[in-house]
Structure 1
């Protein structure tokens, strides 16, 4: 199985979905714990949730393999992404609930991790970089939206319940402040949903690496609380009734990015 699916579109927007994949190669699954084989920490159904993306003309990059194979939103050298906080690794060894993912003596070593970087991480990031370069070449600028979701309560990473809509711009480093202000305003207009900018989730490796406002690339991460669109307990079912309510607000956030590009950068498509 290829490490990603890429769906091109005519707009200057790329939606990256690095944690939506659920596939575990058999050779790895046999070494994993029963918990790990259910891939509970997936950004479940994010591709289905953003089913309106094609209508906006967005490009979509969708990971196929589980983050337990390799985390595409971590540095390839294994550098800790959140110093001083609890972290999962490039090739995770524990779940969000701090349960082991690998049977005794079966966790990947340095050489296996290197091979996974070459087989899965680099192809995804090459496609991401190539797509952004193509967008920028055509429009003179590019928008990157890194789409994530997570359980509303994960004590390992944050206390209490997470806000529903968590926007991140790496504390203003990955996107212009004017764009960030418009996005949090759009999120704040979502009645019944809480929102925050650069709260617990400020943007991971993808947002930080590719967001270069001075070079015409604006990157934003959205970490959506899963309670807004699905059942958070196994078997992690999609809830169309909930999704139907939150989708218009997600669409409005993406439309705001595109409107900003038209108004401030003069792009059209």
Structure 2
């Protein structure tokens, strides 16, 4: 019965917001975390009374000179209300605290309505290769930023190629080209939601190939030639020395 009443109150609040043009803002929180709800825009006049509700149920109330600041029901002991600004802070949030929060300032209903939504922190993502095989001879490859996000949405995805800056992508997949990431050895992804973010371990870039410049090649060739010449010179000296010894023995 209580759930039906709650759903009815929520539906009425949403309908009211739709009809009156009130702004509904999503506010996310984690289990055991805090929720901060502010009056926007700041009230231009001196505040003399404040009333906060969740799905039509009283949360906090204060009337200057007539009603002392009071918190109701499950909000007692973990809620604070700033009488000067109207800011409401609720600690130790749980799933039972989800819903639509509305306020009245100086006996006037405000247009701002907050929808409190419970979400989880994002887990550590993993970069997975979608194009198989992906080699240094491939023109492009697709990679994906994977994580179990059933209770962590909404999320955004970002990619870091080598030491470059983070770049946000439209989804979890990203197509990388050989010309784009030339010289970059690693690929890293990041997932972010309204309460947290986490970064994957860097993975090797399959399109990367160590290139040896011409100067390096020339140096290697030169060193090799010098080495060969030295070897031949030493061998020649050894042969000459052996022949001289044989000639001496024959004369003796």
TM over 0.5: no
When the two structures are superposed, what TM-score results if normalisation uses the length of structure 1? 0.23
Would you tell me which structure has more helix in proportion to its own residues? 1
Would you tell me which structure has more strand in proportion to its own residues? 2
When the two structures are superposed, what TM-score results if normalisation uses the length of structure 2? 0.24
